[in-house]
Amino acid sequence: MDDRQSIDLAAMLCSRLCHDMLSPVGAMSNGLELLAMETDPEMRANVMQLLEQSAHISTSKLKFFRLAFGAAGGFGDRVEIEEPKALIGALVADKANVNINWALNDATMGKPAVKVLLNFAQIAIDALVRGGTLDIGAEMREGACEIVVRAAGPKIAFDETIGKALDGSLDRGELTSRTAAAHMIHLLASESGGGLQYHKGADALVLGAVLPQGEGMIG
């Protein structure tokens, strides 16, 4: 990837982050304005609850993006598996119609594998527009990290350009804030000698990755 493509990818990832942060940060701003004008104790208590919820959502999203997109300097080469589990759990905390099943066999994962896992989970959650089940599995097998994320529900929403970004067939002009994260993890997988794949059916989306030697990379 040349310097121009690197700059474009960074810009698109920033755009995605800003887009996802706009709603909770905007809610906090609106809440503070209401708090300044409101004098009724009950209404002020309601506004404070709104502010607490928005602050929690903002913090959870920033923690997610830090590890999913960034260098995550606070972590070593390997990340405790409870960290991505907590971040993914926070993404669905307000989605009562989404259930998660875990099948994670190792106590830690390398940063590149964690980035793939988190971004797969985000794509899968976005696909469950009417709710459903999220099955997330990862294990080391024969020196490679294998990751599978399956989203199953009554309606699956999946942009095929995201699929093209995952399998490496994305045209340069199709790099947008929607496809940037998928393109990034495709590059991570390719650098480790691995790859990503996906399959979308009528009621399920399956995302898979194999990362040979990828656990030792520093993402």
List pLDDT tens digits, range 3-48. 567 788 888 888 888 888 888 888 889 999 988 888 888 999 998 9
- Residue 76 predicted with pLDDT over 90: no
- Residue 50 predicted with pLDDT over 70: yes
CA distance linking residue 146 with residue 150, whole number of Å:
13
Mean pLDDT (the chain) is 89
Q: Quick one: what percent of the chain has pLDDT higher than 90? A: 56
Class at the top of the CATH hierarchy for domain 3-216: alpha beta
pLDDT band with cut points at 50, 70 and 90 for residue 115: very high
Count how many Cα atoms sit within 13 Å of the Cα of residue 136 in the half-sphere of its side chain: 25
Radius of gyration of the chain (CA): 19
Q: What is the pLDDT of residue 23?
A: 87
Q: What is the pLDDT of residue 3?
A: 57
Look at 75-84, 96-105, 130-139, 161-170 and tell me which has the smallest mean pLDDT: 75-84
**Residue-by-residue DSSP string for 28-42:** HHHHHHHHHH---HH
Question: Coil, strand, or helix at residue 210?
Answer: strand
pLDDT band with cut points at 50, 70 and 90 for residue 218: very low
pTM of the model: 0.87
**Would residue 72 be called left, alpha or beta, if left means φ above 0 and alpha means ψ between -120 and 50 degrees?**
left
Look at 61-65, 75-79, 96-100, 171-175 and tell me which has the smallest mean pLDDT: 75-79
Q: Name the residue ranges covered by the structural domains of the chain.
A: 3-216
Q: What is the pLDDT of residue 219?
A: 36
Q: What is the pLDDT of residue 7?
A: 81
Q: What is the pLDDT of residue 174?
A: 87
Q: What is the pLDDT of residue 73?
A: 55
Q: Listing from the earlier edge strand, what are the strands of the sheet with 132-141?
A: 98-104, 132-141, 144-152, 204-212, 195-200
